[in-house]
Structure 1
Amino acid sequence: MSHVETTAASLPTMEEPAMDAETVRRKVKNMIDEYMSLKDDAEFVECFKELGEVNYQMAVFEIANNVMDRRSAHAELVAKAVEALRTSNVLSEDVAAAALVEFSEVLEDVVIDAPNAYRFFGMLVDAAQIPRSCIADEVLKQID
């Protein structure tokens, strides 16, 4: 009779694994590109869910990063997709806010190459249904 030692590492877990930043970046880019052609909110939400909750904050950061180099019409579409994530209760306000506050830390540098960055960022904040005062409070904390 063989004895197999069971360790925590060998037990299946219900939690999704965290992805590396490059994988999330690539998947988000593909999701956005597909959304641009299909304009299907439900499909975007399903693709986002496939990332796993543990990766949601990084994914929203990458959505913000990706949209900065796009045209206004594309930014508006991506904002609509983010709104669909919130209204479908897939993306929580806390996770969306944390990701956008994190992105706000690099926004000053982004605007150098993407002149519409502040406007697009505002669109994402609104789409994520986060009170601008919450974002402003968090950004002000970074300055202090």
Structure 2
Amino acid sequence: MNLISGVDFDPESKTATFSGDGGLMLLMHLLLKAKFGEPFHGDIFLNPWVNALVRGVDSVSDKPQPVRAAAAGWALEFLHAMGREIALQGERAGFWAMTADERKAFIRDVAAAPHRLSDAEVETVLDSIDSTVWNADRLVRASRQEP
């Protein structure tokens, strides 16, 4: 098996090892692709241990993920997609049982990790969550109306 430096695979123990700069770079790429690839994958996107792993790998990497400045910002489509995914998959992560402050922290520390969102971007995600829930509620009410 031809692997890059820093990535080893032992077929007998079914173990992949990522080490050194090359291994960490590949692992981070795979994690970010799994988390932020289109469409978002709820089991990975909102998973606290995957996000802890992303933050941990990023913190020791020689090439940490760039943090977007608030001025650069995220595309609105990306923020809305994040909000829709949280609305649809948030129950798994206990999102609906959280306080308003806990929800904001969850968006910052779990959903967006390792990237940072500005306060305005967090509000955009929250607005998208509310909009998704409102539209779902409207759809359910319409489906229950008699023809």
Query: TM-score, normalized by length of structure 1?
Result: 0.38
Larger strand fraction of residues = 2
Max radius of gyration: which structure?
A: 2
Larger helix fraction of residues = 1
Query: TM-score, normalized by length of structure 2?
Result: 0.38
